[in-house]
Chains A and B, each alone.
Chain A
Amino acid sequence: MSLLFLTLAVYLLAEALYRRLKHPLANPVALAVLALVVFLRLTGVSYAEFRDANAPLIWLLKPAVVALGYALYRGWGAIKERAGPFLLGVGLGSAVSLVLTPLLARALGAPEPLVRALAFKSVTSGITVELAPRYGADPALAVPLVILTGVLGAALGVPFLRALGVRRPFFLGTALGTTSHGIGTARAAEEGPEAFAAAALAMALAGLISGLFAPLLLPLIGLG
């Protein structure tokens, strides 16, 4: 139980730090995870013990995923006029991430549990926790990779997209939300309200689309 309060305290501290630093790479989730990983390594508390103590928090992910339907509805108005390229981007980005990332990992010789976990790298963590076990992937391996994808996309996304000729905030937001979910959405906020709205919606929609695509696409690469 005290381990649950530790998570709570560390997360609130990380949020306070994030508000002070105002840098998207000092993301509160990444900071809190890093601090707690160091804590477990130093104290020798096992991950299983830590996870069991935090089970009530993890359980709340399920209703929170349902609540994403509300975010989806609220965000839809902001993108209506550009629904075509938006949906194309979110759909194609999700498909590329689901299929190409595990194939790359396999080609590079990554172990099978990580190949499976990497399929969900762009799916917002709450949905990854629900989705990954259905495809033989351990959420405890997948979620850290999701967070890393968030940080990486937030760091490289805008300069990389600009180099590709993507300059309009709306599409920067679409790509950041699709690829880097919540952390990318925080980065998109710096490109203005239009980018933020597109990113927030792309994050929720990419999660849902990945849930729909996974049973169709993952069996094609032997991850059914």
Chain B
Amino acid sequence: MASVFLILLFWLLGEGMSRVLGLMPGSLWGMALLFLGLAAGLEPRHLRPAAPLLLRWMPLFFVPVGVGAVAFFDLPARALFATLAALCWGTLFTLAASGVWGRR
């Protein structure tokens, strides 16, 4: 239970940061603060089992949002094509920009 409490605590701190500084959503601030907390000496074992469990099941949690894809059936073909073309080219450019530093 302590690990659940810690996750909620960092989330709450994150929401506070989001209110005060803005910039990012509270959960993302919570992620950054949890990383900093661990780097500052918080024992990773205190985050078990909650953190690994949440990470293990995270894909399940966003499946319902992905089902929003039903809306793509109602798009005009031209809009769909433009979107998919931008996604393909964008993916290649992102791969290149992130991987090219390891060329040899």
Contacts and interface: CB of A to CB of B under 8 A. Distances in A.
Contact of B62 (A95, A143, A171): A143
A19 interface: no
A57 B61 contact: yes
Given A111-B79, A114-B79, A171 B14 contact: no
A126 B31 CA distance: 12
B99 A171 contact: yes
Interface in A204-224: 204, 207-208, 211-212, 215
A197 interface: no
Interface string A4-29: 00011011000000000000000011
B32 A89 contact: no
Size bracket of the B interface: 35 or more
A206 B22 CA distance: 19
Nearest to B53: A67
Looking at chain B's contact residues, is the secondary structure mostly helix, strand, loop, or mixed?
A: helix
A60 B61 contact: yes
10 contacts: A41-B73, A60-B57, A61-B61, A61-B65, A96-B93, A108-B86, A139-B65, A143-B65, A161-B96, A179-B94
Contacts of B69: 33, 37, 144, 147
Interface in B1-35: 7-8, 10-11, 14, 22-28, 30-35
A61 B28 CA distance: 11
Nearest to A139: B65
The list of the 4 closest CB pairs from A to B, nearest first, reads A171-B102, A140-B68, A93-B98, A69-B34
